[in-house]
Amino acid sequence: MSIVLTIRNLSDLDFVSIDGVDECLIGVSFLSRNISNTLDEFYEFSHQLKAKNKKRVLCFDALVCERDFKRYVDFFHQIDPKSYEVVRVQDLGVFYYLIQEGFRVQLILETSFHNLESVKTILDDYSNSIEKLIFSYELTKELLAQFIDLANSFNVKSESLAYGPILLFYSPRNLLTAADIQEKQVIADSLESAHKGFEVVENHHGTFMYHLKDLDIFSNLADLEIDKRVDPFLNIDGLEIFFNSDKSDSTRKTTRGYFSVNKSDVLFPKLKNSRLNRKDKNFVGTVLENKKGSYTAIRIEKNDVKVGDELRFINPEGKIIDHKILKLYDLSFEHILKAGKSDIFLLDSIKKLTPKTKVYLSQ
């Protein structure tokens, strides 16, 4: 099957003569979410691709709200229709408009349509207007093969991202700046985990956040009847690195994503942590706070406690800490002898306890 390249600069044109490259994506920044070319650059690329006998695909993949729809379609109609062979769209409103206008389109389904029935519904109604479907890269190989078979049954071609960045999050809002800008790119770190180095790009279409690793399933698609898109747009030398088989030069690591197996639900058992859910007859309550050198605050949910009781703490990681109550305090730090259900009581600070640690009466 064909290799599909996204053309963003003149140097990218050096690779369109490589065996297997039959189709090239070109665009204008106003219509495309991640191609920042001017209209003049678009025409230059179109002219050179035509001379090389390559299929030219105009990217109109912007997501368009109602108030801006007319501006987008008016701009689209200003582009010389002889400068491209087919239009690629993602917004379903734009898709419907173009097929009503008689255009044959390529429809992007990358961020939705993860079940066969939804794709079949599209094909049942519009297959005569669809040249190609671009499927989600969140599908396993087994599922992708079923989607390809479905498209083939309607004489519609298929495509998948084979090498390029994985979009994690998109918002039409500007999240990096308060004003409309040409483009801004930053590196973001997670405040809730150790993950660092997320690429975040903002342009006049909104804000995009990408996975730490690029998708690379190019060789894994070899035995599937599907076009393979090479689209390393966050790396200005991405095509050179890819086609020269020197990916070690890239600063971005790669992953096969969900292609081998979809592990999107692998975290659910961890969320259902048995250490956090155990509430047997000896259960007392939960640690709310542990202020080092000062106090440990516990809310009682079941059993009463009193001075002299032996407690067992089990933290979310399973570490067990035993403690005998020698002193018991209320929230005013007044000494008490007993605490009952729904009370919050204080102990002297206990080392290595964390919030959500479960508290039990020792057996």
Segments of 64-154 assigned E as strands:
86-89, 105-108, 130-134
The fraction of the chain above a pLDDT of 70, given in percent, is: 88
246 by Cβ neighbours in 10 Å (0-12 / 13-18 / 19+) ranks as exposed
Q: Mapped to the 3 state alphabet, what secondary structure does the chain carry?
A: CCEEEECCCHHHHHHCCCCCEEEEEEECCCCCCCCCCCHHHHHHHHHHHHHCCCEEEEEECCCCCHHHHHHHHHHHHHCCHHHCCEEEECCHHHHHHHHHCCCCEEEECCCCCCCHHHHHHHHHHHHHHEEEEECCCCCCHHHHHHHHHHHHHCCCEEEEEEEECCEEEEECCCCCCCCCCCEEEEEEECCCCCCEEEEEEEECCEEEEECCCEEECCHHHCCCCCEEEECCCCCCCHHHHHHCCCHHHCCCCEECCCCCCCCCCCCHHHHCCHHHHCCCCCEEEEEEEEECCCEEEEEECCCCEECCCEEEEECCCCCEEEEECCCCECCCCCECCEECCCCEEEEECCCCCCCCCEEEECC
CA 255 to chain CA centroid, Å, is 13
pLDDT digits (tens, 9 = 90+) for 305-328: 999 999 999 887 788 999 999 999
Whole-number Å distance between alpha carbons of 282 and 348: 22
The mean pLDDT value of the chain amounts to: 87
What is residue 208's predicted lDDT score, i.e. its pLDDT?
Answer: 83
What is residue 113's predicted lDDT score, i.e. its pLDDT?
Answer: 86
Name all domains of the chain by residue range, CATH numbers in brackets: 3-164+215-264 (3.20.20.70), 167-212 (no CATH), 273-361 (2.40.30.10)
Q: pLDDT confidence of 52, banded at 50, 70, 90?
A: very high
Specify whether the backbone of 206 is left (phi greater than 0), alpha (psi in -120 to 50) or beta.
left
Name the residue among 199, 203, 159 with its Cα closest to residue 35: 203
**Which residue is associated with the tokens 């070319």?**
37
Q: pLDDT confidence of 210, banded at 50, 70, 90?
A: confident
What is residue 276's predicted lDDT score, i.e. its pLDDT?
Answer: 60
Average of pLDDT values for 267-294?
74
**Which residue is associated with the tokens 């189709």?**
23
DSSP 335: B
Q: Are 186 and 208 in contact (CB under 8 A)?
A: no
More confident residue, 170 or 196: 170
The pTM of the full predicted model, rounded to 2 decimals, is 0.69
**Side chain identity at 305, as an amino acid letter?**
V
Whole-number Å distance between alpha carbons of 191 and 188: 9
Q: Are 206 and 180 in contact (CB under 8 A)?
A: no
pLDDT digits (tens, 9 = 90+) for 255-279: 887 776 665 555 455 555 555 666 6
Whole-number Å distance between alpha carbons of 208 and 61: 14
Q: pLDDT confidence of 202, banded at 50, 70, 90?
A: confident
